């Protein structure tokens, strides 16, 4: 390691530096040497390696945390990288419907309580071992284990509906019945109740049994098999060969890949500061940028004219909302972190739906998309992402920008300016000030907040815009919504699940993330119906139920949907065979080619 030696020599020089005449000279001489060698260095650009001819380089603006295990990973950056190395039984197509992947076919039983998958044969793990039904069972068994959550696992959602999950998870039985291997290449998922989304439940990336079976579950996240390049084993088209923590991730192709050896030999995946990313893309040092970071809307037009680049403009699965705090919880419930809609106390300032509709009319959302997102992204009125089959934008109220209508609605609701100061008072003539809170950290959101204040004050709604707090502190404020809490309006962004449109976790009354504390019996009923067999087994029925729910949402308005953010991706045209889907750039990456 030559690299270790130089600093040591310099240190010695330093410590004595300036004491003796000759040392000073030496130090100067050394620095001269350093400067000269730097000049030489800069001349001979050692930038690109010729180690593998067919190398492409991708980039993201945020470093993944470093846990590359598909059942334990934490962030979206890890998730994206895992798409190269690990695979699922089923994957999603451009309509977000599930199609075969490691499973070549499946049959669902009559009452929808079981689904049997026929697996591809001849699939090999990166270390050469064959992939079998036992690996699938092992993956789900691990996630159902009592130790899984304690070890840091988060995705119990996928195993909770499995047959006798509760008993197994409580440690009452060691007999795992949820996922059963019929033979080496046939595996059956059993559910407690008829499953509306059996394929979604089967879409967890599979981990290798032969690698993990000897490791206690509590040690799995910390094990080399979850963190160290050569030890991370999947079935995907590329395998990990190197990690420079938070900086660079290197993959080589999986020669035995079951769908054919990829044409690309090597993929470099770099973490690059977003302000320099554009320059590197233009220079050709970066060949592709996809989910989750993408490129900034402001940079899109800079890259667009470049003939070497192929731009991809889509909608992302995340939107920003202006929430209305409709109810507060009782002090007691906050203390016990209980969500009991019957106890809630109504926030009188926003109780009238007309007021909420007026506020929505007063906001120039089209203008926000044009001004803040450079015309990328879109205005939406339905809280289900437009990419989904369940989205029903046409059934919603549209709320175009209309300050006059906003004023009229506010007048009708009795909120009038009685003292002539330019701001409206409530129907009792008392001052009416709405407190607005938002988290810091997202530039887009930080620029949206003052715009909202300005636009609402134009129709006479006085806004007290609070100083933004960092996300952790903001979330604590949102969760401590007892009597003392003075929040009326809040900004937040939600990333939506790409697999299923079910809105239970964001908008049903009992979910903690329903920060509006929206309590609407009809809404809860519809959300539940859309998940209740047997009717909900038909997608058409679900779509119709969700359409009705979206209509209700847009009338009752627990929140204004400000805009859906764009997903702006780019790749260099020297890469061929790219097939971008709404949720990934990496679909069929083994078919990518490079000149």
Q: Restricting to residues 281-300, which ones interact with another protein according to CB under 8 A? A: 283
3-state secondary structure at position 327: strand
Distance CA 500, CA 114 (A): 19
The piece of 121-129, 170-178, 391-399, 492-500 that touches another protein (CB under 8 A) is 492-500
Kindly give the interhelix angle for 443-458 and 365-372, rounded to the nearest 10 degrees.
140
CA–CA separation, 220 and 36 (whole Å)? 49
Give CA 174 to chain center in angstroms. Answer: 34
Cβ neighbours of 17 (radius 10 Å): 15
27 scored as a contact of another protein (CB under 8 A): yes
Binding residues among 305-344 for another protein as defined by CB under 8 A: 337
> Closer to another protein at the Cβ: 241 or 312?
241
Q: Which residues pair with 564 in a beta bridge?
A: 319, 378
443 binds another protein (CB under 8 A): no
67, 57 Cβ separation under 8 angstroms: no
Q: Of 32 and 345, which has the nearer Cβ to another protein? A: 32
Residues 528-587 that bind another protein (CB under 8 A): none
Stretch that binds another protein, among 101-109, 240-248, 349-357, 535-543 (CB under 8 A): 240-248
Residues in 502-531 that interact with another protein by CB under 8 A: 505-506, 511-513
Distance from C-alpha of 141 to C-alpha of 412, rounded to nearest angstrom: 59
404 is a site residue for another protein (CB under 8 A): no
Residue with smaller CB distance to another protein, 265 or 364: 265
Neighbouring C-alpha atoms within 13 Å toward the C-beta of 249: 29
Distance separating alpha carbons of residues 562 and 493, to the nearest angstrom: 10
Distance in Å, CB of 168 to another protein, minimum? 16
Q: Where are the alpha helices (DSSP H) in 86-151?
A: 133-144, 146-150
Q: How far is the CB of 141 from another protein (least distance, A)?
A: 18
Positions 253 through 272 that interact with another protein (CB under 8 A): 268, 270-272
The site string for another protein over 447-486 (x = CB under 8 A, - otherwise) reads: -----------------------xxxx-xx----------
CB 427 within 8 A of CB 412: no
Start-to-end Cα distance in the chain: 36
Identify which of 448, 403, 458 has the alpha carbon closest to the alpha carbon of residue 563: 448
Q: How many CB atoms lie within 10 A of CB 504?
A: 16
The answer to whether 250 contacts another protein (rule: CB under 8 A) is: yes
Nearest residue (CB) to another protein, 255 versus 470 = 470
Q: Which of residues 140-199 bind another protein (CB under 8 A)?
A: 149-157
Number of residues that bind another protein (CB under 8 A): 85
Q: Is 67 in the site for another protein (CB under 8 A)?
A: yes
What's the closest the beta carbon of residue 362 comes to another protein, in angstroms? Answer: 28
* Binding flag, residue 216, another protein (CB under 8 A): no
51 near another protein, judged by CB under 8 A: yes
Residue with Cβ nearer another protein (174 or 283): 283
Nearer to another protein, 433 or 499 (CB): 499
Q: Is 24 an interacting residue with respect to another protein (CB under 8 A)?
A: yes
CA separation, residue 39 to residues 35, 43, 44 (Å): 6, 6, 9
How far is 293 from 283, CA to CA, in rounded Å?
A: 19
Among 26, 74, 215, 397, binds another protein (CB under 8 A): 74
């Amino acid at each position: 390691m030559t690299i270790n030696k130089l600093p040591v020599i310099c240190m010695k020089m330093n410590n004595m530096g300036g004491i003796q005449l000759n040392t000073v000279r030496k130090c100067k001489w050394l620095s001269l040497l350093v400067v000269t060698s730097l000049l030489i260095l800069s001349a001979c650009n050692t930038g690109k390696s010729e180690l593998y001819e067919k190398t492409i380089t991708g980039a993201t603006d945020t470093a993944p945390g470093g846990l590359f295990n598909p059942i334990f990973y934490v962030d979206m950056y890890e998730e994206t990288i895992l798409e190269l190395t690990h695979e699922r039984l089923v994957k999603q197509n451009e309509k977000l419907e599930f199609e075969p992947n490691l499973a070549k076919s499946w049959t669902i039983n009559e009452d929808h309580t079981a689904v049997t998958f026929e697996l591809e044969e001849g699939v090999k793990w990166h270390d050469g071992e064959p992939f079998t039904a036992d690996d699938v069972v092992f993956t789900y068994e691990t996630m159902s284990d009592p130790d899984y959550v304690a070890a840091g696992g988060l995705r119990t959602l996928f195993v909770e509906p499995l047959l006798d999950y509760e008993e197994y998870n409580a440690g009452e039985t060691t007999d795992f019945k949820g996922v059963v291997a019929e033979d080496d290449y046939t595996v059956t998922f059993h559910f407690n109740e008829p499953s509306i989304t059996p394929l979604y439940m089967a879409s967890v990336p599979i981990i290798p049994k032969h690698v993990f079976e000897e490791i206690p579950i509590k040690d799995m996240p910390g094990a080399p098999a979850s963190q160290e390049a050569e030890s991370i084993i999947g079935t995907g088209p590329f395998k990990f060969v190197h990690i420079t923590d938070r900086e660079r991730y290197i993959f080589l192709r999986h020669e035995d890949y079951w769908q054919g050896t990829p044409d690309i030999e090597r993929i470099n995946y770099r973490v690059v500061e977003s302000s320099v990313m554009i320059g590197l893309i233009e220079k050709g040092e970066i060949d592709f940028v996809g989910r989750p970071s993408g490129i900034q809307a402001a940079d899109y037009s800079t890259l667009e004219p470049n003939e070497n680049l192929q731009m991809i403009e889509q909608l992302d699965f995340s939107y920003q909302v202006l929430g209305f705090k409709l109810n507060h919880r009782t002090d007691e419930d906050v203390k016990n972190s209980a969500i009991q809609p019957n106890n809630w106390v109504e926030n009188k300032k926003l109780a009238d739906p007309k007021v909420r509709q007026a506020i929505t009319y007063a906001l120039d959302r089209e203008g926000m998309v044009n001004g803040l997102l450079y015309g990328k992204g879109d205005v939406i009125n339905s809280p289900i992402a437009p990419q989904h089959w369940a989205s029903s934008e046409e059934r919603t109220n549209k709320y175009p920008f209309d300050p006059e209508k906003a004023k009229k609605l506010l007048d009708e609701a009795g909120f009038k300016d009685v003292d002539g100061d330019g701001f409206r008072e409530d129907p009792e003539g008392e001052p009416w000030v709405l407190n607005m809170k938002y988290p810091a950290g997202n530039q887009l959101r930080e620029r949206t907040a003052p715009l909202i204040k300005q636009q609402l004050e134009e129709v006479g709604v006085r806004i007290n815009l609070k100083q933004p707090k960092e996300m952790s502190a903001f979330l604590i404020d949102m969760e401590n919504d007892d009597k003392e809490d003075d929040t009326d309006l809040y900004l937040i962004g939600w990333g939506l699940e790409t697999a299923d449109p079910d809105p239970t976790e964001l908008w049903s009354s009992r979910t903690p993330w329903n920060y509006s504390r929206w309590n609407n019996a009809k809404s809860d009923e519809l959300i539940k119906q859309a998940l209740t067999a047997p009717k909900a087994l038909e997608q058409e029925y679900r779509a119709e139920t969700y359409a009705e729910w979206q209509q209700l949402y847009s009338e009752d308005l627990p929140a204004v949907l400000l805009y859906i953010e764009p997903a702006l991706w780019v790749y260099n045209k020297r890469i061929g065979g790219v097939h971008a889907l709404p949720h990934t750039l990496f679909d069929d990456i083994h078919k990518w080619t490079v000149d």
